[in-house]
Amino acid sequence: MPDNWSYVFSAYGLAAVVLVGYWRRLAGRAKSLAGRGERKGP
C-alpha cells in the first residue's frame, strides 16, 4: 500500500484552514464589537 502523504497533508491542511478561518472570523467580529463599544463610550 502506498503512503499517499499528499492526501494526509491535504486533509489536515484543509481542516487547519477551516478552523483558523473560523477563528479569525470570530476574532474580527469581537474586534469590531469592541471598537464600536469604545466609540460609544466617553
Partner 1 sequence: MAARALGWLAVLALIAGLGAAFGYAPREAVQGNVQRIMYLHVPAVLTAYLAFALVFLGSVGYLLSRRAGWDRLALAAAEPGVLFTGITIASGSIWGKPTWGTWWTWDARLTSTAVLFLVYVGYLLLRGMVDEPDRRARAAAVVGILGAANIPIVHFSVTWWRALHQPAAILGPGSAPMPLWMKMALAINWLAFTLVFAYFLTRRMEIARLEQEA
Q: What are the distances in angstroms from CA 40 to CA 4, 6, 26, 35, 36?
A: 55, 50, 21, 9, 6
- Please identify, using beta-carbon distances, which residue of 37 and 42 lies nearer to partner 1: 37
Q: Which residues bind partner 1 (CB under 8 A)?
A: 1-5, 7-8, 10-12, 14-15, 18-19, 22-23, 26, 29-30, 33, 36-37
In the complex, the smallest distance separating the C-beta of residue 42 from partner 1, rounded to whole angstroms, is 17
Query: In angstroms, rounded to a whole number, what is the distance separating the alpha carbons of residues 6 and 13?
Result: 10
In the complex, the smallest distance separating the C-beta of residue 30 from partner 1, rounded to whole angstroms, is 6
